[in-house]
Amino acid sequence: MSLFTAVEMAPRDPILGLNDQFNADTNPNKVNLGVGVYFDDNGKLPLLKCVQAAEKAMMDKPTARGYLPIDGIASYDSAVKTLVFGADSEVVTSGRVATVQAVGGTGGLKIGADFLKKLNPDAKVLISDPSWENHKAIFTNAGFEVGTYKYYDAANRKVNFDGMLADLNAAAPGTIVVLHACCHNPTGYDITAEQWAKVIEAVKSRDLVAFLDMAYQGFGQGLKEDGAVIGKFVAAGLNIFVSTSFSKSFSLYGERVGALSVVASDKDEAARVLSQLKIVIRTNYSNPPTHGGAVVSAVLNDAALRAQWEEELGEMRVRIKAMRQKLVDGLKAAGVKEDMSFITTQIGMFSYSGLSKDQMMRLRSEFGVYGTDTGRMCVAALNSKNIEYVCKAIAAVV
C-alpha cells in the first residue's frame, strides 16, 4: 500500500495527447492540424524578426535576472494596456485598469478565475458551447460550477446567436461569461458587431461579468479591428476582465507571455483590485519569468520594432486567409461535392470542418492527417506543400 495506490490515471489532454500520437506516427506524409500553432509556408514555427532584433539588443547588453515585481515588468504592463484599450482610452489615462503580466493567456485566465472566486464565490461561469477545452477546466479547478451558453449551430454552420443571447438573458446576475474576443476557438466563427452590441446589452442589463479571452488579437481582421470589441465593453461602462496571450501573435509559445487586465470603476478601485491580483500571483508562483515579457515589452515600446511586428503578424494573418481559400479550392478540385466555402467565412487559426469523429479518425489512421475528434483543424498549419495531400485525404473520407 503506497500513498498513491488510489491515484487514478487522469485522462490525457485531448490536444496534447494528439500531438504525442502525431510524433509517434511513421507516415512520411503526416500533417499535424491538431494543435493551435502557426507554422510558416515551410512548415516551420517562425521566430519573428522583431523578436530576434529585441533579443539581439538584449544579448548585446546582458542584464542579471533578479525577481520581477509580482505584477511583472511595468513597461510590459503599460504596453499591454495600450494595446488592449488604446493609448488614449479614458480607462488607461484615468488609471482605472489593473494589468498584471501572466504566464501565458492561460495564466491570465487563472489569475482572473481565482480572484473572481474570492470576490463572488457563488457565481456560476458560462463558457461557449463548444469552447477551448481549458476554459472549463480552469474555472472548474478555481472552484466554479461551469455551464455553457449556446454558440455553434452545426446544422447551419454558423453561430446560433439567438440561442446564445437567450442563454445570456437567462443567466443569474453575477454570472461570469467567458467570451472569445476574436477568432473563436474551436469553431472559427465570430459574431458580428451588431451581435456584440446585443451581447453587451445583455451583460449590462443582466448584471453579468464579462471575461474576454483575447488569445488571437491580430489574427482576425487586424490588431485594431480585433481589439475594437474591448472598447465597446468599456464604452458601455462595464467592469470587465481581459486575458491577453502573446503566444501566437509573437510566436513565443514556450515563453509563456500573457496578461490579465481588469477594468475597475476608478483609480482607487483599480489599486485595490491590483493588490488582490498580486496576492493570487504571489501564492501561486510568486512572480512571472523575465525573458518573454522583456522581449514583448521591447518590441511594443519601440516604434520600429512595433512596426515590424505588425508587419509580421499581418503576414501570418494573410497567409492563413490564403490557406483557407486554397483549402476550399483544393477540396473542390479533389472531388468534394459539398460546398466548403464556409471555410473562408471562418476566421483565425481554426476551422470547424464539419467532419465526424469517424472521419477524423480515418484521416489519422489512413493518411496521418491529425485534427481533433470534433473536426477542428488548424488552418495555420497548412502550407503550399501539404495542402494538396490534405485535400485529397479529406476528399477520400467524406
- Catalytic positions: 132, 213, 248
The one segment of 6-14, 24-32, 48-56, 101-109 that binds ligand PMP by CB under 6 A: 101-109
Kindly tell me which of 180 and 364 has the beta carbon lying closer to ligand PMP. Answer: 180
Report whether the peptide linkage leading into residue 130 is cis, meaning its omega lies within 30 degrees of zero.
Answer: yes
Q: Could you tell me how many residues make up the chain?
A: 398
Binders of ligand PMP among residues 117 to 136 (CB under 6 A) are 132
The reply on whether position 106 binds ligand PMP by CB under 6 A is yes
Count CA atoms closer than 13 A to 13's CA, side-chain side.
12
The Cα 347–Cα 284 span in angstroms is 35
Kindly tell me which of 253 and 389 has the beta carbon lying closer to ligand PMP. Answer: 253
Which three three-digit cell numbers place residue 333? 478540385
Select the residue interacting with ligand PMP from 213, 226, 255, 312 (CB under 6 A). 213
The reply on whether position 38 binds ligand PMP by CB under 6 A is no
Kindly tell me which of 199 and 393 has the beta carbon lying closer to ligand PMP. Answer: 199
The reply on whether position 105 binds ligand PMP by CB under 6 A is yes
The 227-246 contact track toward ligand PMP, x by CB under 6 A, reads: ------------------x-
Which three three-digit cell numbers place residue 157? 454552420
CA neighbor of 123 nearest in space, from 150, 159, 147, 155: 147
The Cα 117–Cα 96 span in angstroms is 21
Which three three-digit cell numbers place residue 289? 519569468
How many other CB atoms sit within 10 Å of the CB of residue 134? 16
Q: Which residue is nearest to ligand PMP (CB)?
A: 104
The reply on whether position 104 binds ligand PMP by CB under 6 A is yes
Select the residue interacting with ligand PMP from 18, 31, 33, 36 (CB under 6 A). 36
The Cα 250–Cα 318 span in angstroms is 15
Q: For binding to ligand PMP (CB under 6 A), which residues are involved?
A: 36, 104-106, 132, 180, 185, 213, 215, 245, 247, 258
